[in-house]
Amino acid sequence: MKGRKLSPAEYAAQIQEWARGTALGAHGTRFVSAGEGRARAELEFRSELAPLTGLFHIGAIMTFAEETASAAGMWEFNPTRELRPDLIPLTFQLNFNQVRNASRGKLLANAEIVHRGRTLVVVEVKVYDDNSKLIATMTVTQMAPRQRQG
């Protein structure tokens, strides 16, 4: 691994920089921290994230949770400033449960790696509203990137 290992706050800022001009950047997720098996992020409510009901779209919540899980996994394999797409774990299965919704404020996601094996990483995510009420839970299974020998 090339480069200095970043702190969780530094790595979150680095993800924000990498996200510019991508779907991740357009979605609006703001990473607070990412590292040491965890990630935290925020997503402000805006009308572009809502269907006609005026609530967060379920797809926006799912995407937000998955992005946060990915940030937790990314640091595990490349905690440096060098963008290495080959070292980003790929989500291939998720289980999502929404228990309520919100129509204002921001959502907060907390992701934690609960299993890190040779080929799989499992991340649990909880999404809350800004009143600390649970909005959704997600379990994300990621394929671990192949590590170079040497």
pLDDT tens column, 92-143: 999 999 999 999 999 999 999 999 999 999 999 999 999 999 999 999 999 9
Average pLDDT score over the chain: 93
Centre a 10 Å sphere on the Cβ of residue 150 and count the other Cβ atoms it contains.
3
Homologous superfamily, domain 8-143:
Hotdog Thioesterase (3.10.129.10)
Centre a 10 Å sphere on the Cβ of residue 36 and count the other Cβ atoms it contains.
15
Is pLDDT above 50 for 150?
no
Quick check: 29 and 76 in contact, CB under 8 A?
no
Report the predicted TM-score, pTM, of the whole model to 2 decimal places.
0.93
* pLDDT band at 66; cut points 50, 70, 90: very high
